[in-house]
Amino acid sequence: MKAALIVERGGPEGRVVAEHPEPQPGPGEAVVRVRAVGLNHLDIFVRRGVAGKHLPLPHVSGGDIAGEVHALGEGVTGVQVGQRVLVDPLVDNKALGEDLPGGLAEYAVAPAKNLIPLPDAVTFEQAASLPIAYGTALRMLITRGRLQAGETVAILGASGGVGVACVQIAKLTGAKVIACAGTQEKLDRLQALGADVLVNYREEDFSKRIWTETGKTGVDMMVDYTGADTWEGSVRATKVGGRIVTCGATSGYDVSMFLPYVWVREIDILGSNAWTRDDLQQLLDWIGEGKLEPVVHGVFPLEEIHEAERLLEDREVFGKVLVRP
């Protein structure tokens, strides 16, 4: 089978499209013919070399997998060959594409218990947009952040996969959304998704603008997975009794906390990691009901994986980048 293989840790040249052995299902496993796979910053981190992990090479990344069941291992019940499915990437505290071989290939193997049947109304592309971006956003905003209708939430990096998902889910919840992005084009698209206030963080101090827009009280919730470059500003922009939620730190982990604001304002800082099976089912239900349409920047053939990754790495995307093996 063809696969986008990481053969060397580091830059884009470390990933090549080549022939690779087709996976075989073990007991309790299924092989899926991949029809769409979502690309995430995680794929870039894995290519560069995730700190503390020593994956054997070559490695196939790609965690957001949608396709058709191709083969079943011994003891599998409740799943049929040919069935359309979304694959939940979390496997016993490990992740497909990160710790285990993923879906940037024509075929992928996963435990059969991780397969979620796709409703007829949900396409492979819609499904492959969900787990890592939309699943993370749903858990971060709702489960951990407890976002409520009528509250105000500010979202940094609102034009990326997780950010766009946050904007859409926050609007579904009935919150007021302050969306922060780096270009006017991205801000215009965020406004079309329902964002109420638009902040170009390249042209103005996002923290000061949020403070002004909220009548100098701050937001109920600040979404910051940028980290080092923005954390102090996020603390300053959060109201008394508000909360900051995070699921990562794309600009670095060593943050300036500005602690006096944290204790004087009694700010809650909430970490959020991954998603649950119920989160993914909720997202599929919303798509089927016409309440949610995942935003897709583009769909690329496997042979154009370098361009797909470049767009993501250079932050030229709006929404999800998908690959069709």
Other Cβ atoms within 10 Å of 74 Cβ, number: 9
Q: In what order do the strands lie in the sheet with 15-19?
A: 15-19, 2-6, 59-60
pLDDT reported for residue 52: 59
pLDDT over 70 (residue 190): yes
The CA-based angle 312-278-293, given to 5 degrees, is: 45
Q: pLDDT for 17-40, tens place per residue?
A: 999 999 999 999 999 999 999 999
Pairing outcome for strands 64-72 and 59-60: unpaired
Q: What CATH class has 2-129+295-324?
A: alpha beta
Q: pLDDT tens across 37-68, in order?
A: 999 988 998 999 875 577 899 999 999 999 99
Q: What is the pLDDT of residue 257?
A: 78
Closest CA to 181 of 171, 173, 172, 166: 166
Topology annotation, domain 133-271: Rossmann fold (3.40.50)
| Nearest CA-CA partner of 320 in 133, 45, 43 | 133
Q: What residue ranges do the domains of the chain occupy?
A: 2-129+295-324, 133-271
User: Residue 117 class from Cβ within 10 Å (0-12 exposed, 13-18 middle, 19+ buried)?
Assistant: middle
Instruction: Give me 54's structure tokens.
Output: 């020593």
* Among 90, 19, 107, 113, CA closest to 58: 19
The confidence score (pLDDT) of residue 51 equals 59
> Phi and psi of 267, rounded to 5°?
-85, 135
The pLDDT of 178-193, averaged and rounded, is: 96
pLDDT in tens, 224-265: 998 889 999 999 999 999 999 999 887 888 887 788 899 999
Q: What is the pLDDT of residue 240?
A: 98
The answer to whether 30 and 87 have CB atoms below 8 angstroms apart is: no
Mean pLDDT of 97-105: 96
Q: What is the pLDDT of residues 71-99, one digit of tens each?
A: 999 999 999 999 999 999 999 989 999 99
**What's the whole-number mean pLDDT along residues 293-321?**
95
Q: Half-sphere exposure of residue 105, counting CA atoms within 13 Å on the CB side?
A: 28
pLDDT digits (tens, 9 = 90+) for 198-219: 999 999 999 999 999 999 999 9
Alpha-carbon dihedral angle through residues 118, 124, 129, 135, given to the nearest 10 degrees: 10
Provide the whole-model pTM. 0.93
Cβ-contact 43, 134 below 8 angstroms: no
In the chain, the percentage of residues whose pLDDT exceeds 90 is 88
Q: Could you give the CA distance from residue 212 to residue 265 in angstroms, rounded to a whole number?
A: 17
Mean pLDDT of 300-316: 95
Average pLDDT over every residue of 154-182: 96
Closest listed residue to residue 279, CA positions, set 112, 139, 123: 139
